[in-house]
């Protein structure tokens, strides 16, 4: 079985600005409009048994405002009466009240253990909807944002077990059949867990297909797959073709296997255990390489054939496939190479290096069946060569101009709560990880849909900047493309201790974040100046400036939803929907 390819994210130098001087606070007024809601947002508070950090991340920090990326400036939310409400903006000065487009059939107030209602826009005419009780709806909506043609009709309605929220969904055509894939997120009690929180996270990947019978078009579930992990994923999205899945998470996820898969895995484990002991051991000095191979007890000299060439070695036992065969890491003096059988029935092979002093990282190129044994003198040499990198005192050489960096020099906003997050791509057929990236300290910040026909982008902190990455599942050589940079945003956002949501414009013109109450911060990309401005320290003219703007909402309710478009920011509180005009339309 092929192992996952270990990849890395390649930033584009042309999109980085090493001379960025920071954001200048701008006092220019921002047009802010507000709409009172007929009914409060259907906020669901965490119960006493939902006490973990994962519950808070998945449900307590849920974004109740949903942006329809297929139609410009079109947002939705669910109110306390189970109504899906829509606001479509064409003119800021002529705003209409949010209108009802759909009403959930169930009375949500009768359910004690429900989660928040969630929805996702799979295509221009399809919506997936959950009422938070464990029921999934597939809706045919017509052209949304247009009251004349928008009509929501239920195409699928089924109970799928314990309550969940919808993480992502896509609509696609495969084998001339319209299909739809949905990703459902649950935080479930783990009865077998004796350490940790006592909960695990499941992502259920559900695929529905359209079935036509006697002119009746309906959808049926054709496949259900479940992944399990120990932390809520920062990012989870299905590929647009429905063939794969990408997850960014602190802890790894894996597919829950069927009985047949487990039996197959057990057989594979047995094979691995049988091959656990190394086939051979090898040591090296600057001049030679010594290989030791354990032989069967009844082996005699005539049963062994060892062949040397300048770049290859071959060891064969009588009537058996080659025991060792392949290209050596470096050339040897094959005429001086020897072999003997020792008293303990082991074969010892001596290779004389042609290039003396070269250290070999491997014996036979690509062969992992052997084990390298390092002697004590080599260990001492390596330890001594690395001694200058370590010390028991903070600054062993105070006269040095650049003392070593230490953790005390880091600012509080440079410390990450979690390290070691990873980005994994799962294949939908094999259910195996095909690509993986260790994100290390590249902190996940937020996700955004730039193009609804592509997978959602995700934004990561790189040093002080925030870099936006677009996944391309159909481009194996360029699966994650760096498409935009928000200068210094990684550093700036870390200083906002009360931040709740982050977003950016689909055209990358600005990024924004909001606190739990009232305040919204907007960070615009650098733009050319209409007037002359000089840098006082350096005495040079500044060509462009990046502006920071701050908006304070006239509301005392907590912010429940936050979405950004190219022109506007939408901010949802319990009883009010705010619109902040950030950019003027073209």
Give the model confidence (pLDDT) of 412-430 as tens digits: 555 555 557 899 999 999 9
Lowest mean pLDDT among 20-29, 43-52, 376-385, 575-584: 376-385
- Checking if the pLDDT of 377 tops 80, the result is no
Give the Cα separation of 140 and 133 in Å (integer): 21
pLDDT band for position 1 (50/70/90)?
A: very low
Name the residue with higher pLDDT: 398 or 301. Answer: 301
Q: Please report the pLDDT score of residue 509 as a whole number.
A: 95
The residue assigned the tokens 């005192």 is 393
- Checking if the pLDDT of 538 tops 50, the result is yes
Q: Please report the pLDDT score of residue 370 as a whole number.
A: 86
Instruction: List, as one string, the DSSP characters of 294-352.
Output: E--TT--GGGEEEEE-SSEEEEEETTS-EEEEEEBSS-B-GGG-EEEE-TTSEEEEEEE
pLDDT band for position 2 (50/70/90)?
A: low
- Checking if the pLDDT of 268 tops 60, the result is no
Give the Cα separation of 331 and 270 in Å (integer): 37
Q: Please report the pLDDT score of residue 123 as a whole number.
A: 94
Is the pTM of the predicted complex or chain greater than 0.85? Answer: no
- Checking if the pLDDT of 439 tops 70, the result is yes
For 563, residues 6+ apart whose C-beta sits below 8 A from its C-beta are 63, 65, 66, 67, 75, 503, 569, 570
The CA distances from residue 114 to 47, 105, 117, 186, in Å, are 10, 15, 9, 12
Q: DSSP H helical segments within 333-473, as ranges?
A: 376-385
- Checking if the pLDDT of 584 tops 90, the result is no
**CA 103, 59, 427: angle at the middle one, nearest 5?**
95
In sign, the C-alpha dihedral spanning 505, 511, 516, 520 is negative
Give the model confidence (pLDDT) of 200-255 as tens digits: 999 999 999 998 876 677 899 999 999 999 999 999 999 999 999 999 999 999 99
pLDDT band for position 528 (50/70/90)?
A: confident
Give the model confidence (pLDDT) of 86-121 as tens digits: 999 988 777 888 999 999 987 777 788 899 999 999
pLDDT band for position 323 (50/70/90)?
A: confident
The CA distances from residue 155 to 158, 220, 229, 300, 545, in Å, are 10, 10, 31, 76, 51
Q: Please report the pLDDT score of residue 485 as a whole number.
A: 97
* Mean pLDDT for the stretch of residues 331-340: 91
Give the model confidence (pLDDT) of 482-517 as tens digits: 999 999 999 999 999 899 999 999 999 999 999 999
- Checking if the pLDDT of 535 tops 70, the result is no
By three-state DSSP, how is residue 408 classified? Answer: helix
Give the model confidence (pLDDT) of 175-203 as tens digits: 889 999 999 999 998 877 667 778 999 99
pLDDT band for position 411 (50/70/90)?
A: low
* Mean pLDDT for the stretch of residues 388-397: 60
Summary mean pLDDT of the chain: 86
pLDDT band for position 388 (50/70/90)?
A: low
Lowest mean pLDDT among 101-115, 137-151, 378-392: 378-392
Instruction: Please tell us whether the domain made up of 280-368 is placed in CATH 3.40.50.10490.
Output: no
pLDDT band for position 74 (50/70/90)?
A: very high
Q: Are the CB atoms for 422 and 438 separated by under 8 Å?
A: yes
- Checking if the pLDDT of 410 tops 50, the result is yes
pLDDT band for position 269 (50/70/90)?
A: very low
Q: Are the CB atoms for 132 and 163 separated by under 8 Å?
A: yes
Closest listed residue to residue 62, CA positions, set 72, 50, 73: 50
Give the Cα separation of 300 and 29 in Å (integer): 92
């Amino acid at each position: 079985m092929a192992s996952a390819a270990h990849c890395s994210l390649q930033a584009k130098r042309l999109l980085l600005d090493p001379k960025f001087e920071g954001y200048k606070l701008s006092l220019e007024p921002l047009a802010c409009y507000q709409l009172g809601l007929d009914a409060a947002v259907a906020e669901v508070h965490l119960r006493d048994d939902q006490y973990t950090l994962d519950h808070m991340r998945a449900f307590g920090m849920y974004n109740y405002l949903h942006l329809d990326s297929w139609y410009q400036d079109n947002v939705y939310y669910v109110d306390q009466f189970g109504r899906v409400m829509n606001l479509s903006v064409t003119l800021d000065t002529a705003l209409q009240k949010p209108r009802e487009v759909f009403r959930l059939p169930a009375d949500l107030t009768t359910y004690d253990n429900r989660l928040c209602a969630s929805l996702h826009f799979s295509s221009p005419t399809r919506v997936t909807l959950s009422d938070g009780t464990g029921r999934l709806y597939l809706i045919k909506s017509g052209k949304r944002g247009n009251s004349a043609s928008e009509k929501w009709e239920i195409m699928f309605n089924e109970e799928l077990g314990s309550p969940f929220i919808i993480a992502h969904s896509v609509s696609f055509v495969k084998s001339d059949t319209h299909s739809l894939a949905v990703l459902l997120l649950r935080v479930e009690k783990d009865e077998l867990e004796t350490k940790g929180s006592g909960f695990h996270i499941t992502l259920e990947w559900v695929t529905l297909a359209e079935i036509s019978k006697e002119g009746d078009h309906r959808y049926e579930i054709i496949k259900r797959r479940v992944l399990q992990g120990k932390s809520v994923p920062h990012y989870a999205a299905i590929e647009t073709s429905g063939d794969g899945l990408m997850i960014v998470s602190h802890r790894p996820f894996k597919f829950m296997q069927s009985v047949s898969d487990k039996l197959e895995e057990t057989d594979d484990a047995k094979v691995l255990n049988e091959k656990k002991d190394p086939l051979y051991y090898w040591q090296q000095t600057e001049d030679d390489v010594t290989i030791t191979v354990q032989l069967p007890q009844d082996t005699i000299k005539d049963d062994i054939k060892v062949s040397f060439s300048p770049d290859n070695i071959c060891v064969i036992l009588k009537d058996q496939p080659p025991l060792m065969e392949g290209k050596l890491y470096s050339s040897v003096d094959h005429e001086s190479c020897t072999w003997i059988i020792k008293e303990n029935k082991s074969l010892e092979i001596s290779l004389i290096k042609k290039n003396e002093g070269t250290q070999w990282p491997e014996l036979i190129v690509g062969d992992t069946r052997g084990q390298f044994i390092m002697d004590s003198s080599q260990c001492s040499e390596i330890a001594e060569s690395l001694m200058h990198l370590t010390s028991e005192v903070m600054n062993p050489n105070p006269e040095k101009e650049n003392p070593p960096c230490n953790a005390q020099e880091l600012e509080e906003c440079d410390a990450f709560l979690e390290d070691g997050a990873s980005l994994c791509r799962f294949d939908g057929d094999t259910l195996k990880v095909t690509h993986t990236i260790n994100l290390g300290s590249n902190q996940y910040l937020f996700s955004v849909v730039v193009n609804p026909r592509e997978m959602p982008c995700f934004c990561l902190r790189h040093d002080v900047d925030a870099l936006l990455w677009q996944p391309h599942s159909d481009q194996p050589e360029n699966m994650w493309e760096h498409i935009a940079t928000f200068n210094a945003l990684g550093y700036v956002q870390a200083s906002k201790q009360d931040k709740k949501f982050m977003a950016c414009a689909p055209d990358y013109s600005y990024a924004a974040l909001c606190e739990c109450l009232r305040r919204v911060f907007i960070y615009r990309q650098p733009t050319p100046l209409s007037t002359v401005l000089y840098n006082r320290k350096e005495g040079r003219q500044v060509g462009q400036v990046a502006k920071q703007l701050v908006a304070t909402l006239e509301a005392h309710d907590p912010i429940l939803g936050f979405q950004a478009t190219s022109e506007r920011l939408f901010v949802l509180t319990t009883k009010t929907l705010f619109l902040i005009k950030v950019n003027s339309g073209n």
